[in-house]
């Protein structure tokens, strides 16, 4: 029997509930966010034992200084043409996001999610992966599709759920599925893509292929069981997969502390599974490229998986359904110490003498016009706000290879009811 007298001097237990540092109306000071110099992180050999570079899960892999210069062991030394392509793809993603956001506000679609401030995460990775590597994205990696050449009109048709939507209106807007571009179907159920990516990677290895898988999730999703199941399988079978954790500080209304950010970094989760872990400046397109290139080489040479935490910031709402002014300080986006990914790569090219403000402004105008023209073309197929664009009976298709009798019966009944109602 417990002796209560032995506990007489103990203080009562208390439960810790994480609380963000800044709430609406609070002044913002990110002085405690460590931004190490670009030469602080060493670049180990891709075949190195993960136990030999644990410090990379706690530091910050960087290439671009905030003054536009580049350096350090991780500098990929890309050609100006390569960097200009990455800059253009980031600017295109931003222009696409802005127009589709406005389309939602105009009632043309029901939902949209921007990637403002996070464009380097997808663009840098896409540039470093092979075109036939398989991507298992979350819902803020539209930059991968744009980098791989997916037609803007096709993406807009899906957002509008119109007559041109190849998914026939069955997916929530922005939840693309593009086999042509190695882009697995996006799911609204958090982190289901992680075990799927591991399974695909294991199959690629079992077949003796050379393609690898890469997957993305938000930092909040690392609390899901699927994340940990995926890490276990990837570790045990040394699956050729890259785990990307996009730590943008906020889930839809809760900050990263609820997923464990107060205790340690998200890259540190790799250590417990015995896999390689890197923590990267997610607003540095060259650092994202370098880390992805390193992880891809490791995976392709049977070195196993890598977990990359992209330390970035969600500059706007979680989606068009979210109002961040209700839970965070309005001063946060502009105070984020790692800056804007588009501006940082632009300034680097200008510092090299390979770009200038005039050309950048001209590029922005051209991209805005390209996106506008694509929107005009897509809207010829209709918009979500104008009602259903697919034949009603198609809702029963595409589930089974051969439609079972009971669904055929339900289909016939519903069609008859609609006809009787004059619909």
The per-residue pLDDT for range 383-408, each reduced to its tens digit, is 998 877 888 888 888 888 999 999 99
Residues 373, 95: Cα–Cα separation, whole Å: 12
Known catalytic residue: 318?
yes
The single residue of 54, 300, 327, 359 carrying the catalytic annotation is: 327
In the prediction, which pLDDT does 160 show? 97
- pTM (two decimals): 0.95
Known catalytic residue: 314?
yes
pLDDT, tens digit (0-9, with 9 covering 90-100), for 206-215: 999 999 999 9
Is residue 358 very low, low, confident or very high in pLDDT (cuts 50, 70, 90)? very high
pLDDT, tens digit (0-9, with 9 covering 90-100), for 72-82: 999 999 999 99
Residue 4 confidence (pLDDT) above 90: no
The single residue of 269, 298, 314, 360 carrying the catalytic annotation is: 314
Is residue 229 very low, low, confident or very high in pLDDT (cuts 50, 70, 90)? very high
Please state the domain extents for the chain: 31-386, 392-423
Mean pLDDT of 110-139: 97
Q: Which residue has the tokens 């800056």?
A: 339
Largest CA distance in the chain: 80
Is residue 98 very low, low, confident or very high in pLDDT (cuts 50, 70, 90)? very high
Residues 313, 250: Cα–Cα separation, whole Å: 8
Known catalytic residue: 360?
no
Residue % of the chain over a pLDDT of 90: 90
Residue 239 confidence (pLDDT) above 90: yes
Task: Note the helical H segments in 185-331.
Answer: 193-206, 225-237, 269-273, 285-300
Average pLDDT, the chain: 95
Residue % of the chain over a pLDDT of 70: 99
In the prediction, which pLDDT does 392 show? 81
In the prediction, which pLDDT does 92 show? 98
pLDDT, tens digit (0-9, with 9 covering 90-100), for 138-184: 999 999 999 999 999 999 999 999 999 999 998 999 999 999 999 99
The single residue of 298, 318, 346, 360 carrying the catalytic annotation is: 318
Residue 350: enclosing H or E segment and its boundaries? helix 341-351
pLDDT, tens digit (0-9, with 9 covering 90-100), for 18-63: 999 999 999 999 999 999 999 999 999 999 999 999 999 999 999 9
Mean pLDDT of 349-375: 98
Q: How far is CA 13 from CA 2, 3, 8, 10, 312, in A?
A: 17, 17, 13, 9, 35
324-362 in b/e form (b: 16+ CB < 10 A) is beebbbebbbeebebbbbbebbbbbbeeeeebeeeebee
pLDDT, tens digit (0-9, with 9 covering 90-100), for 264-296: 999 999 999 999 999 999 999 999 999 999 999
Q: How far is CA 54 from CA 138, 203, 280, in A?
A: 27, 29, 14
Contact 158/176 with Cβ under 8 angstroms? Answer: yes
In the prediction, which pLDDT does 341 show? 98
Contact residues for 199 (Cβ-Cβ < 8 A; gap 6+):
233
Domain 31-386 architecture: 3-Layer(aba) Sandwich (3.40)
Residue 127: enclosing H or E segment and its boundaries? helix 119-128
Residues 165, 372: Cα–Cα separation, whole Å: 18
Neighbour count for residue 115 (Cβ, 10 Å): 27
Expressed in percent and rounded to 5, the helix, strand and coil fractions of the chain are: 45, 10, 45
In the prediction, which pLDDT does 2 show? 60
Contact 279/57 with Cβ under 8 angstroms? Answer: yes
CA 211 from chain center: how many Å? 20
């Amino acid at each position: 029997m417990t002796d209560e007298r032995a506990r007489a001097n103990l203080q009562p237990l208390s439960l810790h509930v994480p609380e963000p540092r800044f709430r609406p109306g609070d002044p913002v000071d990110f002085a405690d966010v460590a931004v190490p110099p670009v030469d602080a992180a060493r670049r180990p050999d891709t075949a190195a034992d993960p136990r030999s570079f644990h410090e990379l899960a706690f530091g910050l892999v960087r290439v671009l200084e905030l003054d536009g210069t580049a350096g350090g062991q991780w500098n990929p030394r890309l050609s100006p043409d390569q960097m200009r392509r990455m800059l253009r793809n980031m600017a295109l993603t931003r222009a696409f996001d802005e127009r589709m956001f406005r389309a939602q506000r105009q009632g043309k679609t029901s939902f949209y999610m921007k990637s403002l401030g996070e464009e380097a995460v997808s663009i840098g990775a896409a540039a470093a992966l092979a075109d036939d590597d398989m991507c298992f994205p979350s819902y803020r990696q539209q930059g991968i599709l744009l980098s791989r050449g997916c037609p803007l009109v096709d993406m807009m048709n899906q957002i509008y759920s119109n007559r041109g939507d190849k998914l026939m209106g069955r997916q929530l807007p922005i939840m693309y599925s593009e086999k042509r571009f190695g882009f697995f179907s996006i799911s609204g159920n958090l982190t289901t893509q992680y075990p799927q990516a591991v399974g695909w990677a294991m199959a690629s290895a079992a077949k003796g292929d050379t393609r690898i898988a890469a997957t993305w999730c938000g930092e909040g999703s690392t609390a899901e069981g699927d994340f940990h199941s995926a890490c276990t399988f990837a570790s045990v079978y040394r699956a050729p997969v890259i785990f990307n954790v996009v730590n943008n500080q906020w889930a839809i209304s809760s900050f990263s502390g609820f997923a464990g950010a107060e205790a340690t970094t998200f890259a540190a989760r790799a250590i417990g599974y015995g896999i390689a872990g890197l923590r990267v400046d997610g607003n540095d397109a060259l650092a994202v490229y370098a880390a992805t290139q390193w992880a891809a080489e490791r995976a392709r040479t049977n070195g196993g998986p890598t977990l990359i935490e992209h330390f970035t910031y969600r500059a706007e709402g979680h989606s068009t359904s979210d109002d961040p002014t209700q839970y965070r300080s309005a001063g946060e986006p502009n105070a984020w110490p790692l800056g804007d990914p588009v501006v940082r790569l632009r300034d680097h090219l200008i510092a090299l003498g390979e770009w200038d403000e005039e050309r950048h402004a001209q590029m922005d105008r051209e991209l805005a016009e390209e996106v506008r023209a694509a929107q005009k073309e897509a809207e010829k197929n209709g918009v979500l706000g104008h009602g259903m664009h697919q034949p009603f009976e198609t809702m029963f298709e595409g589930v089974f290879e051969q439609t079972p009798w009971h669904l055929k019966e339900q289909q016939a009944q519903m069609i008859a009811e609609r006809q009787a109602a004059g619909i």
